[in-house]
Chain A
C-alpha cells in the first residue's frame, strides 16, 4: 500500500498527490513514469512522474480527473492509500551537461512531466527556456516551480488572460524569430499540441523530443497495447519510450489508438457499481 501524504487541487479537476514510495523515489529519473491501481477493481493507470524526492521517499503525481479511474483516484484523501504503485518505468530523459539551450514546452497538465526534466537540465548547467501553455490563467499549473528551474519562462494562454495570447507554438516562433539558438526542444502535452510543436520545428530541423502516453496495461513490454509508429518501426512506448523523436511519430495513429475505449468509458462513467466496493 502506498500512502497519499499530501493532496492539492491545483485547478478544478487537476490534482497533485505526494505519494510515499521510497524504493521508487530512490530510483526514479526525469522522464520516467509509474503505473498505479487504486483498488482491487481498478485499472492500471500510467502517469508520468511530476517530481521525486529521494531523501523524503516521495513520488509526486499530477493528474486530471477525466475518466472513472482518475475520478476514483481523485477521491482519495491524505492518509488514504493506493493499492499498487509500480515503477520507475520507461527510459529516462537524456539529461546531460553541454546540451546548450533547451526549450521545455508543457501544455496543460503536460507541464507536470516537463518539470523534473527541466530541473535536471537546469542542474546540469544547460540554458533552460520554458514555455507553458494553458487555455486560460486560472488553469495554469506549476508556474513558480518552473520559474525556479528555468532561465526564462514564457506563458501563453488561448484566451489571452495571462502571458502571450495564443498557443505554445506562438511563443516558440517568437524565440526562433528573435534569433535564439535552440539545441533541443521538449514538448509534452495533448497530442494535438505535440503535433503542432513538431510541425513548427520541422522546417528548422530542430531536434524535438515528445513524451507519449498511449493506452497501456502492464508497462513492461508485455502487452504491446502501447504500440506506436515511429518512423518505419512499431515501438512500445512503455519500454522503448515514453520519449521519442517527435519528427518520426505518427500522431494521427496515436490519437486513434487513444480513443479505442471511448464508448466504453462513457458507459463506465454512468455505471453504478453492483459489488459495492470502492466506488
Chain B
C-alpha cells in the first residue's frame, strides 16, 4: 500500500456553523481513520518523535497499539507518561513538538500524533472506566500542590502514583487552571473532558481543595510547619494580565483576555442570564495580540455574537506566535487580521465607553532578541478602528501572592520563581514549575515541568525519610 503523504484530515464543524456555537470545533477520528492514520507510522529504529515530547510519551508504542486495534493498550501506554492525554491531544502544539521530529514530515506531513492521542484518550473516556484508588501506606508523606492547572495536575498525578498523599489547593472554585478559565469550550470541552480528567485524578486519591488562596488562607510555611506537608509544589501559573499602558485602557468595554475568557469559560457568561455572570461583547471587537490567547479571545467574541472581530497585531503573519491551526481556524471563521498595526490609544465616548481603537501602522525592521523582526512605527500613519470592545491579549505575568508571602523562595526581577531544572526553588522542600517559573508558555511545557518536579520531590522525600 502506498504511503499517503498527508495526514487523515480531522473532521470539523463547518466554519459558518461553528462560528455561532460553543461546541467543539474538531470532532475527532473514528476507529477506522485512527487505525489508518496509525498505519502511516514507519516505526523508525531510532524514533525521533519522542524527543519532541516534554513528557516523553512513548509515541511509537502507543501508535503500534492503535494499529493492532489494542486501544486499551494504547491509552495505557500514553498514561505511563501523561496525566491528561485528552487535554494534550487537543491543545499541545504538536507541530513544534513530537510531529516536528517525525521523519514523514521531511517529505510530506508527519503522522497525526496529537489526533491519535486524542482518539485513544476519548475512546477510553467514553467507556467511563473505573479508576482504581491508590493504596496509600499508613505513613505516606504529604505533598501540597498550589494551583490546579496543568503543572499542578501533572505533578499531582505522578506523585500520587508514587504513593504520596497529595492535596491540591486551588484559588478558584473549579480546578483546571487555564484549562478551565482560559481555553474556550470550543477547543477544550469542560464537562466532557477537563472535569472528567480531573475527576479521575480525584478517584485515584488526589485531594483537591478549591476556594483556597495560598498566601492568604495559609502561607507555604504554615502548610509545612502546621498542616504537616513534607514538600510543596508551586504551579500558580501566569495569572496577572498585562495591559499596554496606553490612554483609555480603563474605559468600559476594555477587557484583559483573562477577564474576557474567564467570564465566558469559567463563569459561563455565554449562557447569561441562565448563568448570572454577564459579559459585554458589542458589535465590533478588537483583540490586541497574536498568540493563542488572542485567537481564543477573537473566536469567543464571534461566538458571543459580535458582527466583526479584528485581531490587531504589531508584527506580520509570519511572526504570529499562535499555532498555525488556530490562525487557520480563526481565518476560516471570518476573523479580520489587522497585522502590522499597533494600538496607541483607546478612544471613549462621553459616557466612558469605548468607541474606537487608535492604531499606528508598523513596518518590520531588524531582528530583535527573540529573533523576530522588530516592528517600527510608520510616522503619521495613525488611524481609528471603530469598535465597542477591546480585549487585551498581550501576555500575562506571574501572580505575586504566593511569592510575596514565602520568605526564602527567591524570584527574578520579573517576579518569576527561580527554580533549577528539577524544579527545586531556593527554599528547601519547595519546588515550582510551569508558567510561574518560565513565564507564560504552553500547557504541555507546564505539564512537563510538573512531571520533572514530581520526580525531584520523590528524590527529596526519599532522602528525608532516610
Contact = CB atoms under 8 A, between A and B. Distances in A.
A27 B267 contact: no
Interface string B355-375: 000000000000000000000
Interface string A1-44: 00000000000000000000001100100000000010001111
A182 interface: no
A270 to B, nearest CB: 9
Given A43-B276, A257-B252, A222 B240 contact: yes
A239 B259 contact: no
Interface in A185-238: 217-218, 220-225, 227-229, 234
Given A222-B262, A225-B259, A267-B273, A87 B252 contact: no
A220 B399 contact: yes
Contact of A23 (B217, B243, B249): B217
B426 interface: no
B171 A224 contact: no
Contacts of B274: 41, 273-275
Contact of B211 (A86, A253, A257): A86
Contact of B263 (A217, A220, A275): A217
A221 B240 contact: yes
A42 B277 CA distance: 7
Contacts of A68: 273, 276
B173 A234 contact: no
A40 to B, nearest CB: 8
Interface residues of B, number: 41
A24 B217 CA distance: 7
A33 B213 CA distance: 13
A234 B243 contact: yes
A221 B274 CA distance: 26
Nearest to A277: B274
A123 interface: no
A268 B217 contact: no
Nearest to A264: B278
B273 A268 contact: yes
A224 B259 contact: yes
Interface residues of A, number: 45
B171 A220 contact: yes
Nearest to B219: A27
Contact of B252 (A84, A256, A268): A256
A234 B243 CA distance: 10
B21 interface: no
Interface string B194-238: 000000000000000011110011100000000000000000000
Given A43-B277, A234-B249, A273-B274, A217 B259 contact: yes
A205 to B, nearest CB: 27
B267 A222 contact: no
A85 B172 CA distance: 10
A223 B241 contact: yes
B216 A256 contact: no
B351 A256 contact: yes
B243, B259, B262, B263 pick with most chain A CB within 10 angstroms: B259
A69, A218, A268 pick with most chain B CB within 10 angstroms: A218
B23 interface: no
Interface string A252-271: 01001101110011011001
B239 interface: yes
Contacts of A260: 252-253, 280
B250 A227 contact: yes
A229 B250 contact: yes
Contacts of A84: 173, 210-211
Interface in B380-436: 399-401
A199 B360 CA distance: 40
Contacts of A257: 250, 252, 352
Contacts of B241: 222-224
A85 B210 CA distance: 10
B272 interface: yes
Contacts of B239: 220-222
Nearest to B274: A275
A275 B274 CA distance: 7
Nearest to A216: B259
Contacts of B255: 225
Contacts of A239: 400-401
B278 A268 contact: yes
B171, B277, B401 pick with most chain A CB within 10 angstroms: B277
Contacts of B217: 23-24, 27, 87-88
A86 B212 contact: yes
B250 A234 contact: yes
A271 B276 CA distance: 10
A89 interface: yes
A252 B22 CA distance: 37
A257 B248 CA distance: 12
A89 B267 contact: no
Contact of A220 (B253, B273, B401): B401
B154 interface: no
Contacts of B141: none
A224 B275 contact: no
Contacts of B252: 256-257, 259-260
A83 interface: yes
B278 A44 contact: no
A24 to B, nearest CB: 7
A205 B401 CA distance: 33
Contacts of A23: 217
Nearest to A233: B245
B464 to A, nearest CB: 27
B38 to A, nearest CB: 40
B438 interface: no
Question: Which 4 residue pairs are nearest across A and B when measured between Cβ atoms?
Answer: A256-B352, A223-B259, A86-B211, A264-B278
Interface of A: 23-24, 27, 37, 41-44, 68-69, 72, 83-89, 217-218, 220-225, 227-229, 234, 239, 253, 256-257, 259-261, 264-265, 267-268, 271, 273-275
9 contacts: A68-B276, A217-B263, A220-B213, A221-B239, A223-B258, A256-B252, A264-B280, A268-B272, A274-B274
Given A43-B276, A218-B171, 4 more contacts: A84-B173, A223-B259, A223-B262, A234-B250
